[in-house]
Amino acid sequence: MPRQLIECVPNFSEGRDAAKIDAIVQAILAVPDVVLLDRESDADHNRSVLTFVGPPAAVAAAAFRAVEKAVALIDLTRHQGAHPRIGAADVVPFIPIEGVTLEECVKLSERLAAEVWEKLKVPVYLYEAAARRPERANLENIRRGQFEALVAEMGKVPARDPDIGDPVCHPTAGALVTGARKFLIAYNVNLNTPDVGIAKKIAKTIRFSSGGFRYVKSMGVMLATRNLAQVSINLTDFEQTPMHLVFETVRREAERYGASVVGSEIVGLIPKKSIELSADYFLRFENFRPELVLENRIAEALAARSGLPEFLDALAAPTATPGGGSASAAAAAMSAALGSMVTRLAKLDPEPFEADRRFFTEAVDRDAEAFNRVMAAYKRPKDERAPFVEEALHGAAGVPLQVVERIHAMRQRLDALAIPAKFASDLAVAKALASAARTGALENVNINLDGIRDEPFKLAVRARLEALA
């Protein structure tokens, strides 16, 4: 089934106390379905960057828990570091990866902002694609003067008022910036000099706001622990302004000032394509294309058998699962997807159907897992299996019952949709799929009820079904 994946890359104003970052990481990992991909901490910047991915709802929940933990642990009145900051949880961007639009990430950031203000009383600014003022699309405009200026000016200077919440800066956690953006590469180039003035001159040369490269943001900072100056760079579109172009420019500019590059570093994760572009440039390949990379070719071959073909292969296999219950949930998910499509085309809110789609997509696997537990119970010794079978059948009936109930609510919304006639056929198919899914899920409820001995449970299930008639 189609996946929905969002990446979140929160930046926290703590890079020296590993215990505090550990606690924030654990807050993120406490949310099911979220996967932590990377963790970077820098003592000079006194900043940590975490990268995690998952379904939209799970990522939003993990982002709030991370912010909540950071607000509790990080005191900006005692914070010092090379990197600008206005918050304990400084910036929390959402990036669409698969099956999700940038606009949906904007809505996710707005929901996070509202929750952070309501529950934590931390005011919030919206940036990038979520910005409500043109000047706030750029993060550096929001962070100008850092936490100290924000404390002094919020509530007094209207331009510093937050987008969400009262103009009252949190006394220790400052403010939060959140929003939605495309993939960004955080890339630093280190120089063989402690003269931070050189790094600042180079940063000014390459950043777009000072007349440099489009899609480049940069600043010069000092790495006190290494006694080196650094050009700290954000590339907001590596395909338009590639890494190798920026690196070569920094190298040439450094030479102009009698310095040289001693190394560069990636903060967080980086798309493989950006490395391929640089390899093509530096190695002067005459025939390079991404398909020549072994891992790319393997991934392409495997992708051809993933998604719907993979599910249909599993459905056609001579095994008990996935079976009719999973197929019914899949049909309901397709109905929800069509509902989402027609509401988007009609300029309506697709979120109710998107929530349905997530529920039914998860039910595909949940149904199979529930029946696998039934089969496992039947493999127990005959004289002890009865209570385990009974419990497993309860679960096997419960999943399709939830699917039936959710389909009922979704079908009412489908029937109530007022859309242009040109989308009528898509809506009709959505309704037909919902009807088929309901029939299939009902069959699975009933066949599992037949094996259950618990009469009160059976009566309760049938009462729930009758309420949907």
Is 79 in the active site?
Answer: no
Phi, psi dihedrals of residue 397, rounded to the nearest 5°: -80, -30
Q: Are 241 and 248 in contact (CB under 8 A)?
A: no
b/e string for 27-49 if b means 16 or more Cβ within 10 A? bbeebeebeeeebbbbebbbbbb
Question: SS3 for 331?
Answer: helix
Q: Does the annotation count 161 as an active-site position?
A: no
Question: Which H/E stretch holds residue 94?
Answer: strand 89-98
Q: Do 329 and 437 form a contact (C-beta atoms < 8 A)?
A: yes
Distance from C-alpha of 202 to C-alpha of 218, rounded to nearest angstrom: 9
β pairing state of 185-191 and 124-128: unpaired
* DSSP 8-state class, residue 174: B
Distance CA 84, CA 140 (A): 9
Contact present, 400 and 439 (Cβ < 8 Å):
no
What angle, rounded to 10 degrees, do the helices at 455-466 and 424-450 form? 160
Neighbours of 340 (CB within 10 A): 21
Pair of tokens at residue 242: 């590639």
Do residues 62 and 31 make contact, with C-beta atoms less than 8 angstroms apart?
yes
287: number of Cβ within 10 Å: 5
Alpha carbon distance 69, 73 (integer Å): 6
Which of 42, 90, 356, 367 does the annotation list as catalytic? 367
Annotated active-site residue in 83, 170, 356, 394: 83
List of residues 6+ apart from 381 with CB closer than 8 A: none
Q: Which residues are catalytic?
A: 83, 367
